[in-house]
Every structure is written in structure tokens, then in C-alpha cells.
Amino acid sequence: MSEKKPGFFSRLASGLKRTSSQLSESVTAIFTKRKLDAEALEELEDTLIAADLGASAAMRVTSRLAKDRFDKEVSDEEVRTALADVVAETLEPLERPLALEGETPRIVLFVGVNGSGKTTTLGKIAVKLKREGRNPILVAGDTFRAAAIEQVTVWGDRAKAPVIKREIGSDAAGLAFDAVEQAQTDGHDVVLIDTAGRLQNKSELMEELKKIVRVIRKKMPDAPHETLLVLDGTVGSNAVSQAEAFLEAADVTGVIMTKLDGTAKGGALVQVAEKCQLPIHYIGIGEGEADLQPFSAQAFSRALAGLDA
């Protein structure tokens, strides 16, 4: 497991407090002065599903407890430990740093619905890359929203990196092509491309993303090298349907989940992981640059279960 900056676990635990507290209260209510019987297991399974963990993970937690503790008294700590173990086992194979190595420039597409934190995440990654000595260029590819273009511009200033943008309504694919060309000419080693997040018309979104990829490949046949799906941690199980929609629309290579601070639906990441089997690169627990951190399955699972690091 990668080292975390001091204080990150406590911030993660604080961010997931609503999820872990809700789970803990429900578990206490189920098992106070009661043995682990079939009814208690069913209630626990319902509680875990209600926390957006999904049926599969919920069944694995209850099966594990039933195997060792059936018809015996069980403590809150034992239930939370079983939960943390199952979540960690699910997520550890998908814990993966975002490695932008190989032929440059590395082309990274950011996809996700409006409001998922996609543009902010792109900006935070630009700042991180710049600090690591990389030379990124940012692309305001959501040409439908003035606010998105302005947001990318602000993050470009923070990262001290150039921003490629056009007026509202411009062709996003043409913009992406120009950005790759400029990156090649000016020696930028990473191109971070924002995209539109409209899910109202899935076929239109799909065609737009396909067009962006097709046009980029005229300059670099193996690009984009990463297509990162940014999901909002507050939407719970809806994150699964969003993920499935974008998997149809683009060759998604990895996931970033944002807004885990203050949500009672933090378990949704487990569902997304099980359904999509995509690498998880980062999680976001706040607005600050330091609040986007490389994903740690152990830290996440223990914080979700309300256990110490």
C-alpha cells in the first residue's frame, strides 16, 4: 500500500463519517443483546445494501459472519472488521497509481456527467503533474458550458500550464486535435482533455466521444492513453448506471471517485468496482488540491467501516 501524507486517513475517515456512522448505528440496533441468527443476518444484509454496497458485497459479509459466528453473540467490531475485509478484498486488485509513462505526449481524456467534479479533478491532476516536473497542457473540451471553460482556465493558471480553448459551441474534436498538435510542437508531455458530460442524449454523447478519439488518433494512433471516468460519490447506486453508460460511450481505462466527504453513500465505490472491474486511481474528499489522493483500498475499507487505520 502506498504511503499517504500525514492526516489523510483522518480526513478520509471524517469524510466517510456519515456512511460509517449510519452503518454502525444500524449494526448496533441489530445485534444489541442478540445472537447471530437468520433474521439478524437478513437485517444486516439489508443494511449493507441500503448503504449502497450492493447485494454481492453484502452477501459476502453476512456469509463470512455466518460461517464463524452463527448462533453466537457478535460484536459491532466483528461486523465492522468483516465489512472492512470484504471491501478491501474487492478493491485491492483494482488499486492502481495513474502511470503516465511511455511515448509522449500522453493523452488523457476525462469523462463523466456534469457536476461529477470532472473538471476540478483534471485541474488538480494538472497541478500534481506540474509539481512532479511534468509539462502538461490543459484542454477545455466541454465546449457547451462557459463555466467549464472558465474552470479549466483557472486551473491552468494555478498549474502554470497553458490552456487550449475555443468559444462556446466550437467543435470539441477539432479542439482536441489542435491541442495534441500543439503539445507535439511545444514539447508538452501530457495532454489533459476535459469533455462534455451530457447524459440526456446518450447516443449524441457517445458519438462525440468517438469523434474525439478518432480525430486524436490521426495525430497519435494509440491515443488516448488513458480515459478516466470521474464519478460523484454522493449519487450512490446511480454511479453504477453512470459508469455503465460511459463504458458504452468510451474505452474507459480507470475510475476516480470524488465528493466522498460528507456523503452517506460512500459504499457505491464497491458496487462500481464489482460491476466494472476498472482500476481506481484517485479518490477526492474535498475541494483542496491535497484532497485528491491516490486510492488505497485498505485505508478506504477501514474508514468506510469506521475502524482505525
Question: Using one digit for the tens of pLDDT, what is the confidence trace for 192-207?
Answer: 999 998 765 667 878 8
Whole-number pLDDT of residue 199 = 64
**Distance between the two ends of the chain, CA-based, in angstroms?**
12
In a domain, 2, yes or no: no
Residue ending a domain, choose from 40, 70, 94: 94
Whole-number pLDDT of residue 33 = 64
Confidence of residue 100 (pLDDT cuts 50, 70, 90): very high
Residue ending a domain, choose from 63, 94, 125: 94
DSSP H or E segment with residue 14: helix 8-15
In a domain, 309, yes or no: no
In a domain, 15, yes or no: yes
Q: Which residues are registered as beta bridge partners of 227?
A: 109
If one counts the domains in the chain, the total is 2
The mean pLDDT value for 4-10 works out to 65
Task: Give the whole-angstrom CA distance, residue 122 versus residue 309.
Answer: 29
Cβ(204)–Cβ(210) under 8 Å? Answer: no
Q: What is the mean pLDDT of the chain?
A: 91
In a domain, 81, yes or no: yes
Question: Does residue 173 sit in helix, strand or coil?
Answer: helix
Cβ(176)–Cβ(143) under 8 Å? Answer: no
User: In one letter, which amino acid is 165?
Assistant: K
Contacts 24+ apart (CB under 8 A), 199-207: 199/113, 199/242, 199/245, 202/245, 202/248, 202/249, 205/249, 206/248, 206/249, 206/250
Whole-number pLDDT of residue 186 = 97
**Residues 85 and 225 occupy one common structural domain:** no
Q: Which residues are registered as beta bridge partners of 106?
A: 190
Please tell me the pTM assigned to this model: 0.91
Confidence of residue 19 (pLDDT cuts 50, 70, 90): confident
In a domain, 153, yes or no: yes
Question: Using one digit for the tens of pLDDT, what is the confidence trace for 106-127?
Answer: 999 999 998 899 999 999 999 9
In a domain, 305, yes or no: no
In a domain, 101, yes or no: no
In a domain, 243, yes or no: yes
**Residues 52 and 138 occupy one common structural domain:** no
Whole-number pLDDT of residue 5 = 47
Question: Using one digit for the tens of pLDDT, what is the confidence trace for 219-233?
Answer: 999 999 999 999 999
**Residues 65 and 143 occupy one common structural domain:** no
C-alpha cell at position 242: 453512470
CATH number for the domain that contains residue 40: 1.20.120.140
C-alpha cell at position 304: 468506510
Domain assignment of residue 44, given as a range: 8-94
Within 10 A of 248 (CB to CB), how many other CB atoms are there?
13
